[in-house]
Amino acid sequence: MKKPFQSLSLIFLLCISTISFAQQNFQGKAYYMSKTTMDLDQWGGREMSPEQKKRIQERMKSFLEKEYILTFNKEESIYKEDEKLETPGSGRSWGGFASSFTGGPKYKNVKTKELLQDQEFFGKQFLIKDELQGLEWKMGTETKQIGQYTCFKATATKTVDEFDWRSMRRRNDSDKTENEKKNDSIKKDDDPMNEIEVPKTIEVVAWYTPQVPINQGPDDYWGLPGLILEVNADRTTILCTKIVMNPEEKEEIVKPKKGDEVTKAEYNDIITKKMQEMRDMYGGRRGGRSRRN
């Protein structure tokens, strides 16, 4: 149980924060580090030596670990990767693959519920335009300190996009019958993508601070009475490392505009069709080899 003095101090601090955020031209920047873990044993890593695993992990680092900047005001935000020059051999091919699924700058407007995102897929530019979807947050009383900010815990169940690579995993065959395993083995020979699955939902834990009373957060996350400083979702953790309030040089929050305008559902349909084309090409080549054998 909190002491009365601690509670009063927190209330006073929140009041001061709210007053400072009331100005019309308010702006802030939050810097985040995103890290996704991947179990190499799921993908044949059991047969690798520790040295081989270490080399692969190093090459995948630019794919699995990224830094982002969230620029926000009272209603709008734009979340984009803080791109840095890559060192030779740091895994550019992995980063190129990820860019087809992670997307470019993401714009959110919590007042108009507008969501816009730049997206490049196989050399073609798209503009995903959709309604901003919120999560049904369950507010908790647990707190923790992130830097100088007191944060409160909130949890939610999130529906996972079918092409969210961060939650992709190898199918678990342990609960299947021998016939089901045999049939799946045939399918996998025809299309290796049949080995991959994405869970329908995941549990999300977020930590937000009322000391920054903005209804914003990193990536798709928003909808809490304070800036979200940390998100734990499946195998991905997004953590705020620095906040700059009212920087001297304000950055205009510009909506993404380039590319063919599509909804998220339409974009997923485009990916599905493209991947089917690749399956057909892959299957045809395999079929040709098998016939020659």
Across the chain, which has 293 residues, the per-10-residue mean pLDDT values are: 48 50 75 84 60 66 86 95 63 49 86 93 90 94 95 94 69 55 50 68 95 95 97 94 90 90 90 80 54 43
Q: Does residue 3 form part of some domain?
A: no
CA–CA dist 142, 152 (Å, integer):
6
Q: Does residue 289 form part of some domain?
A: no
Count the domains in the chain: 1
Q: Does residue 21 form part of some domain?
A: no
Q: Does residue 271 form part of some domain?
A: yes
Q: Does residue 18 form part of some domain?
A: no
The whole-number pLDDT of residue 105 equals 93
Q: Does residue 6 form part of some domain?
A: no
Q: Residue 235's domain spans which residues?
A: 26-284
Q: Does residue 7 form part of some domain?
A: no
The whole-number pLDDT of residue 249 equals 83
The whole-number pLDDT of residue 161 equals 79
Whole-structure pTM value: 0.76
The amino acid sitting at 42 is: Q
The whole-number pLDDT of residue 282 equals 63
The amino acid sitting at 237 is: T
The whole-number pLDDT of residue 5 equals 44
The whole-number pLDDT of residue 56 equals 62
